[in-house]
């Protein structure tokens, strides 16, 4: 369990830590959680308000791209595929 907890620690200025398995990142600071919450709320609102599937995709895709664009640099170590905690 300590390897998992240590893997989720980030340096100052970063909001996200790499996932331990797979591709992606997880929020570990209040800023990361806030940006994720805002993104999920926006996607939910847009999905609820848009009348067709194609329009939903056309509106949600740029919102998702913007979320990734602004939060990728805030991920400690970048985003890449991982197979578990790094061996030291």
Question: What percentage of the chain reaches a pLDDT higher than 70?
Answer: 89
Residue with tokens 């600071």: 29
Question: What percentage of the chain reaches a pLDDT higher than 90?
Answer: 48
On the question of pLDDT at 41 being above 90, the answer is: yes
CA distance 50 to 30: 30
pLDDT, one tens digit per residue, over 5-16 is 566 677 888 999
pLDDT, one tens digit per residue, over 49-68 is 888 888 888 999 999 999 99
50: phi then psi, degrees, rounded to nearest 5: -80, 135
């Amino acid at each position: 369990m300590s390897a998992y907890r240590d893997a989720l620690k980030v340096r100052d200025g970063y909001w996200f830590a790499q996932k331990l398995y797979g591709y992606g990142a997880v929020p570990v600071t209040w800023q990361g959680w806030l940006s994720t919450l805002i993104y999920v709320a926006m996607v939910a609102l847009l999905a609820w308000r848009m009348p067709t599937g194609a329009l939903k995709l056309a509106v949600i895709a740029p919102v998702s791209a913007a979320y990734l664009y602004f939060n990728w640099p805030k991920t400690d170590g970048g985003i890449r595929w991982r197979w578990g905690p790094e061996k030291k």
